[in-house]
Amino acid sequence: MRFELYGRDRVGTVTWAGPGKVELDVADDGKRRFFERFFASEAAMMCGPVGAEEMACERRDASPDSFMRALYELSAYSLVARPLDDGEGAQA
């Protein structure tokens, strides 16, 4: 799964390459370090059925689902992720 990241302009690309592996193609060193820390960090969320909710946490690079949730979370930083078709059928 590969995505282009945009703020006001194109920031770079991010690819989920497997558990714990996110590949970044970001030219700006400061932004690259931000994304390295962001995807390697853990996110906490509520999960479970209504009435039996519980807290869960996971690394943002642990699975395709956690990677997709992390891309959604980037909107808090005014960033947009657009899927790229890399021959493997990028999933949105």
Q: What angle do CA 79, 27, 67 make, to 5 degrees?
A: 45
Which has the higher per-residue pLDDT, 88 or 61?
A: 61
Mind listing the pLDDT tens digit for each residue in 9-52?
A: 999 999 999 999 999 999 999 999 999 999 999 999 888 899 99
As beta bridge partners, residue 2 has 15, 84
- Is the pLDDT score of 53 beyond 50? yes
The C-alpha atoms of residue 35 and residue 54 are separated, in whole angstroms, by: 28
Give every CB contact of residue 86 below 8 A, 6+ residues apart in sequence: 2, 15
Mind listing the pLDDT tens digit for each residue in 54-64?
A: 999 999 999 99
List the chain domain ranges: 2-84
